[in-house]
Structure 1
Amino acid sequence: MFYVFVQANILPGTTWKCFMRAAVDVHFNPLVSLAHALASKGLLCIRITCKGLNLTDRVKAYHEVWESFLSRKEFTVTKIFLAGKSAGAWAASSMARQLTAGSEQAVQGLVCLSFRLHPVGQTDHCQRSEDLLGLPKELPVLFLSGTADNMCEKNILENVITGLKSPATVQWIEGAGHGLAVEGRFEESVLDEINSRVMSWILERS
């Protein structure tokens, strides 16, 4: 799942939603909850999912949706934050790198939830970190993952971050796995924690 959070001036009465090949991910509770929380703070949220294509095709599809959004006259975009979960964070970081190559001020922040850094049990094989390494020093990045995530080992992520030019913040959800669930905690409590952390980080930069 790939997200765009937008601070924009919107004409009264305007609504705009976009889904690309809706899949199960579009109903994933942590992402739905986060979208609602950010919308309550006045940020327009575009949720896009594109299932079954390779990363290059996904990012191309997301670019087309984004350009379509920008062409609409009822929106005046002032700030852009890209976000994604798991492989969606690959797409978000790839798109952020491409957009900032044209203008370093094109994106104001990148949020990576449960970044899929390596396959389960293959901690010697980092995936898709090249886009992160190519991000400019002006683009802040938030990584939010669980301490029990078997596709994002804590020490490996922290090692990758030392090589970034971008200022990176890492926040850990204690006991959460790749799906951001925590055994022994009510889901609502975990979602509130995730939402609070992400909202605070974005609003500090809005």
Structure 2
Amino acid sequence: MISGADGDELVTLQKDIHIPFGDKIIESTISTQKKAAPTGGVILTHGAGGDMNTAELPQVANHLSELGFACARFTCKGLNLKYRVKVFKAVVEHFMKTEKWSWFIIGGRSMGARAAVSTANELFSDDDEPGKPDIKGVLCLSYPLHPPKDVNKLRDDILHSCKLPMFFVSGTEDVQCEKVLMENTLKNKTNVTMHWLEGGDHGLHVKGRDKLMTLGEICEVVGGWCKTMRHASSCITDDQQSVSVYTSDDSKTGKKRDKTTKLQDGSRRKRRKEKKD
């Protein structure tokens, strides 16, 4: 629990929302503050085997609400990626038309992260097309770059296609996201941040580390990125080309190991060359 600007204690409220989808209902929950009148927010979904209350999603949603975000979660138990994208688009449309949200950060964990990136790709428009949602960025928790221990079947096409800012949180021991492969996949992408959870597995659990500490780290980095994205334009230019890579505190030594890599675009390199000439 944190306090607002006026010193009042902020109270997180949970509101269940039932979203029509053909002859079905999409179960959703929104976390927000009592005094908030959201004009936009974050939408998250789960992986292949869970629901909107699985793993760290409720805690991330509550943390974001304490930072002033409205954060919705929804359940979609289908295992077909195209179906999950259709559901995700229906949820975004509902929050645009019914809740009157004008901007979004969308995301998910594992398969839900794949669905979020694919949804962003389908909904993104370069030219502020009327009726298109303003998606600020995409949050990916434990993105499954490849099947477990099978690095020959990369799920990277949608990542290469995405023009929006992306934020990834993955464990260094994730058997579905080999670290070197992931960093190579993202190295030429624009405006991407990668946070590595030292020793973390696909469930973002770190052996020998307190679960609340790990969860606190995840919430902190996600909240920081979302605050940056809230007032950002969804349009990305070549001059903004950068990839940042961070590694979490080592759970045994307590030492922070991080690195940041910035990739300059071709036009900047060209300008430097012209100055030398």
What TM-score, normalized to structure 2? Answer: 0.62
CA distance in 1, matches of 2:207, 2:14: 41
Gaps of 5+ in 1: 1-12
Which protein has the bigger helix share? 1
The corresponding residue for 2:270 is none
The corresponding residue for 2:56 is 30
The corresponding residue for 1:144 is 169
SS of corresponding position for 2:170:
strand
SS of corresponding position for 1:101:
coil
Corresponding position: 1:41 with 2:71:
no
Pick closer, same or farther for the CA change 1:76–1:132 going to 2, 3 Å. Answer: same
Query: Does 1 or 2 have the higher relative contact order (CA < 8 Å, sep 6+)?
Result: 1
Aligned length: 188
Instruction: Determine if contact 1:18/1:46 at 8 Å carries over to the other structure.
Output: no
Instruction: Determine if contact 2:81/2:115 at 8 Å carries over to the other structure.
Output: yes
* 1:16-65 deviation per Cα after TM superposition (whole angstroms, max 9, x unaligned): 53583687332223111101100111211121221134111111112122
Corresponding position: 1:100 with 2:127:
no
Instruction: Determine if contact 2:173/2:202 at 8 Å carries over to the other structure.
Output: yes
Instruction: Determine if contact 1:18/1:48 at 8 Å carries over to the other structure.
Output: no
SS of corresponding position for 2:52:
helix
The corresponding residue for 2:160 is 133
SS of corresponding position for 1:26:
coil
Larger radius of gyration: 2
CA distance in 1, matches of 2:15, 2:53: 20
Gaps of 5+ in 2: 1-12, 20-25, 29-48, 231-277
Instruction: Determine if contact 2:144/2:176 at 8 Å carries over to the other structure.
Output: yes
CA distance in 2, matches of 1:196, 1:132: 24
* 1:80-120 deviation per Cα after TM superposition (whole angstroms, max 9, x unaligned): 10111111111000001111137568210111111001111
Q: What is the CA RMSD across the aligned residues, in angstroms?
A: 2.3
Instruction: Determine if contact 2:63/2:219 at 8 Å carries over to the other structure.
Output: yes
The corresponding residue for 1:109 is 137
Corresponding position: 1:60 with 2:86:
yes
SS of corresponding position for 1:108:
strand
CA distance in 2, matches of 1:170, 1:82: 16
Instruction: Determine if contact 2:88/2:116 at 8 Å carries over to the other structure.
Output: no
Instruction: Determine if contact 2:120/2:135 at 8 Å carries over to the other structure.
Output: yes
Q: For 1:156, which of 169, 181, 192 is the aligned residue?
A: 181
Pick closer, same or farther for the CA change 1:158–1:134 going to 2, 3 Å. Answer: same
Instruction: Determine if contact 1:114/1:143 at 8 Å carries over to the other structure.
Output: yes
SS of corresponding position for 2:90:
helix
Identity of aligned residues (%): 34
Instruction: Determine if contact 1:26/1:32 at 8 Å carries over to the other structure.
Output: yes
